[in-house]
A and B are shown apart, each in its own frame.
Chain A
Amino acid sequence: MEYVSPEGLRLDGRRFNEMRQIVAEIGVVSKADGSAVFEMGNTKVIAAVYGPREIQNKSQQLKHDRALVLCEYSMAQFSTGDRRRQKQDRRTTELSLVIRQTMEACILTELMPHSQIDIFLQVLQADGGTRSACINAATLALADAGIPMRDLAVSCSAGYLNSTPLLDLNYVEDSAGGADVTVGILPKTDKMDAKLPMETFETVFALASEGCKAIAERIREVLEENTKQLEYRRAA
């Protein structure tokens, strides 16, 4: 299968180092303390954050000196069509865990002892890169909720197909069986699905990191825009 034409165009018209269109918006769930929608092309994730609040279930409280971060991830029935039902459970648990660890590492939990932060993520449409979209949406929602963070956690994927490193894989590219790397900047690199020789890995990793920087830029813009609007409202 030809995922990149000899003219250097991917199936959806992008070049190797181009990200899909990003749409980000915060404050979309009125009842939540913080919320956001994050879209990368056809992949669309909504995040809602509740907290910091009092710990609901005392038995879960292991350490009192920092906040407990919980994450629930789900996928809308209609989000993927019919593609991957069986593996959903394992994937769901695994994803929740990865996202929780990523967010926990970036929240200044020690500033909020005896409290709990809940992050709810729902994938509305899945077209590749859901893991990254979830992390980006969660970051925005946490910022919206005013939860103190070390830095913005952002994520972007990159893969390697037809001997070309590709930024931000869509579903078709993601299912091609090539190697892909999801890079979460700030806490740690998380996962790689297939094996890559070291030098290839480095180029793919560098590409994903570039993607992360671009996303971080975008998220900052959204947040700054929001701050301006708040200031404007306050002034009015």
Chain B
Amino acid sequence: MLQSKVFNKKTRGGRIQKQVREVYLRDDIYCGAFACKSCDTSAARLSSPKIIVLDTNVVLHQIDLLENQAIDNVVVLSVVLDEVKNRNRSVYNRIRALCSNPAKQFYVFSNHVHKDTYVQAMERESANDHNDRAIRVATLWYQKHLGGTSQVLLVTNDRENKRKATEEGISAETIEAYVKSIGQPDLLDLLAQPTAEDITMEDADDSRPSKRKLVYLEHKPMSEITAGLHRGIYHQGKLRVNRFNPFEAYVGSESIGEEIIIYGRSNMNRAFDGDIVAIELLPRDQWQEEKALSIAEEDEDEDDTVHLAPNSADDAPRISSLAQETSGDKNAVPARPSGRVVGVIRRNWHSYCGSLEPMSLPAGSGGTAHALFVSKDRRIPKIRINTRQLQNLLNMRIVVAVDSWDRQSRYPSGHYVRPIGKIGDRETETEVVLIENDVDYSPFSSQVLACLPPLPWSVSSEDVSNPVRQDLRHLLVFSVDPPGCKDIDDALHCTSLPNGNFEVGVHIADVTNFVHPGTPLDDEASKRGTSVYLVDRRIDMLPKPLTEDICSLRADVERLAFSVIWEMSPEAEIISTRFTKSIIKSSAALSYVEAQARMDDSRLTDTVTTDLRNMNTLAKIMRQRRIDRGALTLASAEVKFQIDTETHDPLDIGMYQIREANQMVEEFMLAANVSVAEQILNQFSSCSLLRRHPTPTREMLEPLLRTAAAIGLTLDVSSSKALADSLDRAVGEDPYFNKLIRILATRCMTQAVYFCSGDLTPPEYHHYGLAAPLYTHFTSPIRRYADVFVHRLLAASLGIYKLPTVFQDRPQLTSVADNLNYRHRNAQMASRASVELHTLIYFRNRPTDAEARVVKIRSNGFIVFVPKYGIEGPVYLTAKGEKGAGDWYVDEEKQKIVKMDGSLSYSVLQTVKIHMEVVEPQPNRPKLQLTLL
């Protein structure tokens, strides 16, 4: 049966265009009930005689509830799915996941093409009304179709739709009524709080007085915002809340061209981190004043907790300290434009992990309690929730979703979604780390797994005869990695040539031979962006068979690789470079320790050892040349845990030891990345994916310079070369001093980022830390998607295959780079959080004394860095709360805190002995405390 849908569409030019679309109405769309006598039941899902049909608003707002196992036997109409897809992509993905979950009985009924339920839009009928009508028509059809065998219930929270449904003889209920009818009161916690248009819950929060004081300014209506944006009085952008000071946010606006600062919750006006907002600028005279105010407001300071020492400026607070702001020369920090939010254009609300604020249990049980939820993510304000199971939740990590935030409430309202586990429990806290950093740790879907080649996989005769693939199985190739490494991305070879030169090869797993553009596997990898390494587990970017077997360049098996092969002179000058797809057979998978031991053992003269020594000699020259060019040998305090294989608890913890063998491998990887960057940029000047490290501004290096000045050390920061030389000269009386200065330098710099070459000019491609004009990532395609992307570019540059279409789409390419940066950053934060978690677990039963270095002076004490454990935290000289008690004063210039009577002082970089112990100031909130010995 054929229906022509004609509708008018306004073109961009404003003309009305008639569009005719066909709809083919079908008689082979089945109801999905097993009990049905007239339908094909091969794809049926509904087994219970009680069937519910969901309205769009229920799917959109109550998805957390729908995911609960108590909700089942549900018909999801295609019109509902369509509308959900348009309104909220993430809810759409979740409802789709429910529909395809075999454990759930959710049946999709394609009512829009069924001959009896297709509903033609009536004249002057709004899209909304049309959809509502279609939902009622479909429900009525089910009611009639299933006749006496089943009860069909429409669940809707739209008052008008419910009324009409009842009039038309359909049984309809609100979601609250339905949940109550199934007799599981705990489920009521999962209900989203109603918004004004919805039916008010019968037991709605009566404690809210109807006329309460307005806390926030109103949000302007959308029409006014659009007009304001058009006229340039409002500016649009994404709000980013300062991770270290949740009362401060930034909006990067294209129309202003500068970052606008939003100070304080009232100016943020209910916007969340990640929301797309409209803002207006505050009058210029309020710019400075606001700033002073916000710092005063920032009383719950971040430095309060012991945390992992920062590795870069991205890990450290943006505005480092109050002292810096007020004491520096007055003109140093020009007033930055500040503004306030006038409306939210698109919400970035999702669910958050955290726990309830400790509170005493209300008298009597079973009733509804109002609780405040505190997110682990400090950028998120507290969230009010109602719960009937307060007692169970108080000591739990839970997930909470936000529903609304009205002008009368200081905090947004939300609802409880699910428990994660007991606070402090290793499993629970690890899951929190993953959720908080938006790491997808769900198992790979069957569609993704379907893209894998059948196992066991081995190199085929087609691979061998493939003309683009060179057979390098005769070469003596080996890999050097951390012990126990299973995802081996890279392997090396080094042979002496008759002319006295060396042939050196870097062989990288040929991941793109298995991951093809546009497949579910590729989409998933691109979404994940990187593997995530936690202390006790690894969340892979690619499924395990690829990661640990098919792609991994393991010893004694033939594997496909993408090789960079140089001819190098004994002085490590590159004579020539070539790239080829290859087949290799690694003869040894060495650990760094093994490789080092072989090189050091003068009795060994086997080929692998000789090759290693030759490579090491070359690598040392290359490294020296890089350093001479100005590459920074930066330092970070990486720690390593020894984990109990059974309990997964940390047994020992210590600094990660860097050996020559590590540096040797790193050197060749750097060289391969540089060679590949040159090759791809040469061929694809506007669509290459590169990696840059921005030159730090003087402002960023300020903390380092101040510290150095305080101890009488001058650093030249005019170029990376000058800085590198100054760092080399910074030698103190103790051996650790130089490393400490390097660590402090490293944490002043931002991290390197991916970008699309077409988005920047060549001088901006520069990699400051490596002192390289060009850099990219090629050597770890098993665990980084950037490298997969670069493999495709390299292959296309060699004419092996065509460039996938995404490379012709600049905005798309930019968004790929943005996502990679986001995922990369999140992966690092997750790793750091995991280390912090294990540090806490480690010290729980092990009070320890350690040596520490003072890194920052504060008014009531100082911050110390504990090199052995890589952590940093406050040591208080006066008890907290007695700030400025008058016993101590701070000498800004000398970065020193001195006792009033002059008897005692501590200055920056000084060594102190401290005691470390886990304390629990609040039940279930353990924290590491540092005290002076």
Contact = CB atoms under 8 A, between A and B. Distances in A.
Contact of A7 (B19, B22, B110): B110
B450 to A, nearest CB: 10
A61 to B, nearest CB: 43
B17 A9 contact: no
B100 interface: yes
B24 A18 contact: yes
Interface in B505-532: 516, 518-520
Contacts, number: 55
A21 B23 CA distance: 11
Contacts of A194: 805
A13 B23 contact: yes
Interface residues of B, number: 29
Q: Do most interface residues of chain B lie in helix, strand or loop, or is the interface mixed?
A: mixed
Interface string A55-88: 0000000000000000000000000011000000
A12 B110 contact: no
B108 A21 contact: no
Contact of A12 (B18, B22, B516, B518): B22
A6 B15 contact: no
Interface string B107-126: 01010110000000000000
Contacts of A6: 96, 99-100, 108
A127 interface: yes
Interface residues of A, number: 24
A7 B99 CA distance: 10
B110 A195 contact: no
Contact of A9 (B22, B113, B520, B805): B113
A82 B17 CA distance: 8
Contacts of A12: 21-24
B346 interface: no
B100 A81 contact: no
A195 B802 contact: yes
Contacts of B2: 21
Nearest to B5: A12
A125 B21 CA distance: 12
A5 B22 contact: no
A168 B518 CA distance: 22
A12 B520 CA distance: 25
A13 B108 contact: no
Interface in A1-33: 2, 5-7, 9, 12-14, 18, 20-21
Interface string A35-54: 00000011000000000000
Given A6-B96, A177-B805, A195-B802, A82 B15 contact: yes
Given A5-B110, A9-B113, A177-B805, A81 B25 contact: no
Contacts of B17: 81-82
A6 B19 CA distance: 26
A170 B20 CA distance: 12
A197 B516 CA distance: 10
A179 to B, nearest CB: 10
B26 interface: yes
Contacts of B85: 2
Contacts of B26: 13
Contacts of A5: 78, 108, 110
B5 to A, nearest CB: 9
Contacts of A163: 518-520
B22 A42 contact: yes
Contacts of A20: 22, 24
Contacts of A127: 20, 22
A22 to B, nearest CB: 11
A18 B108 CA distance: 21
Contacts of A9: 78, 110, 113
Interface of A: 2, 5-7, 9, 12-14, 18, 20-21, 41-42, 81-82, 125, 127, 163, 170, 172, 177, 194-195, 197
11 contacts: A6-B99, A12-B24, A13-B25, A13-B26, A13-B113, A18-B24, A42-B4, A42-B22, A81-B18, A163-B518, A197-B516
Q: Which 10 A-B pairs have the closest CB atoms?
A: A13-B113, A13-B24, A81-B17, A12-B22, A13-B23, A14-B24, A41-B22, A7-B110, A21-B2, A9-B110
Given A20-B22, A42-B22, A127-B20, 8 more contacts: A6-B99, A13-B23, A18-B24, A21-B2, A21-B22, A127-B22, A163-B520, A170-B22
